[in-house]
Amino acid sequence: MGREDEAVDAMEIDDQRQLVEAPAAVPEGFNADYLRVYYGKLFPYGDFFKWLSYGNDGKHPGCDQSYVGRREFSFTLENDIYLRFQSFDSAAELESSIKEKCPFKIDIGPVYSVDPSKRHAYAQSGNNVFVPVERELIFDIDISDYDDVRYCCSGADVCLDCWPLMTIAIKILDTSLRGMSFCYAVKSDSQLMILVSITYCGYTVVAVVSIAGSVIAEQENLAMNKGLLLLTTFESIRRSYTDVLKSFFEDKLLQSQQLFASEERCQKILDLIPDENVASELHDKWQGNRRSSISKEDVSVGRWEQLKTTLQSGKNKVRVSAPAVLLASPYLLCLVLIRMLLPISGQGLRRCVEEIVFSYTYPRLDMEVSKHMNHLLKAPFCIHPKTGRVCVPIDPNDCDDFDPTSVPTLSQLLGELNAAGFQTDSENSWERTSLEKSIRFFRTSFLQPLLKACKEELESAYNAKLQQSKNSLNW
């Protein structure tokens, strides 16, 4: 009996040795014993490994049999013990190692030029052959980067009032990447990662991530920093504003975050108006009616309408210096430069409305994660050690209905397993738990179309290679 089997047997769930008697009896939280049951019965090893193989685990003559063995896996064990540069040649090897080591966190690294677990042997040869060559294109968005525009939560905390900021990020990136197949989002409590496995400019993105990833990510980031100019430059950015951002800001964010409910919050928005006379005029109006008995939600709506009416009237045509407060905001620094170079006309003031909406709502990407090969990606379906929630994929088509507070927890899944009366040798135990929907979506909407495209690409490349060989022989 292997070590991993002993760990699972210690938590056997049956009539003789039940961990709990009912779902409600499973204590909330995160611990190694719960995790062993999860890894023993629920983690989708097969689907997970097939994804990262990209069709190279089959018998097709065009497969690169060394491909998946050059992928790095990183395990974080209990007490923050890190195991980097793990590699596996099969799903069975991966499963055995995870069950044995019971990692509290699983991260995915790049595909290297050689097996990462044998990197020291290659280093001794004196040749610098151990380098990353491929990695998924990743857009990493952290909810804490929105702390300056949300007032319900901060840091890694999230609720239903601020989660829509992540929903908007999914919609914007999904719209921008539409036509590039196999885009899906992974929710990881405080983070949202948009994973894309696509063909870009004739190459698979994983092969050109240092180029394609940089181009796409920088274009998206420019939209955040230069929303004013890109509204008239990029069609996708214009659609983002008219189809998504404007209605979200006015119908949801304005009231859920009560953006005008205090003088400090009002001042934050007024600081985005480059005409000091206009900002002062609005400030005086709002100071005059601050003792009004209307609700904070109605105050926010009313003041926003006043601001739009004033800015869109186009009466002010004054060149002014950029407010010093803008210099402190990394998201608005480029807007400061734009204002210093261009005269502030009535048209420019009208654009301040769009500018404010962009500043509050546009996805805030971590550029370094998208551009560089050395960042690790948190694996889908691993467990967040602080909350005990599963890292699940989100369907962009249904992201409005996604509730981050209802994501399955480790203890919830164990309770469901116990209630179903599953034995330790049961297959596909996840089908009778709340994890079933997430695994099926990952398999049918992402994995199966991806593998079909990978197979076609492998066959095409193999046939082209054969034809090239024939042409050489004929010559």
User: Are 358 and 240 within 8 A, CB to CB?
Assistant: no
From the number of C-beta atoms within 10 Å of its C-beta (0-12, 13-18, 19+), residue 47 rates as middle
- Would you give the DSSP letter of residue 382? -
Q: 468: which 2 tokens?
A: 């090239």
CA 290 from chain centre, in angstroms, equals 40
Query: Using CA atoms, how far apart are residues 463 and 461, in angstroms rounded to an integer?
Result: 6
Residue corresponding to tokens 């790049």:
110
Phi, psi at 190, each rounded to 5°: -85, -5
**398 is known as an active-site residue:** no
Catalytic one of 115, 142, 174, 355: 142
Catalytic one of 140, 174, 189, 355: 140
Query: Using CA atoms, how far apart are residues 391 and 75, in angstroms rounded to an integer?
Result: 16
Query: Using CA atoms, how far apart are residues 236 and 224, in angstroms rounded to an integer?
Result: 13
3-state secondary structure of 393: strand
3-state secondary structure of 106: strand
Query: Using CA atoms, how far apart are residues 11 and 108, in angstroms rounded to an integer?
Result: 28
Query: Using CA atoms, how far apart are residues 55 and 134, in angstroms rounded to an integer?
Result: 15
Catalytic one of 4, 72, 189, 220: 72
Query: Using CA atoms, how far apart are residues 288 and 67, in angstroms rounded to an integer?
Result: 68
**142 is known as an active-site residue:** yes
Three-state SS sequence of 294-335: CCHHHHHHHHHHHHHHHHHCCCCCCCCCCCHHHHHCCCCHHH
Residue positions annotated with a catalytic role: 72, 140, 142
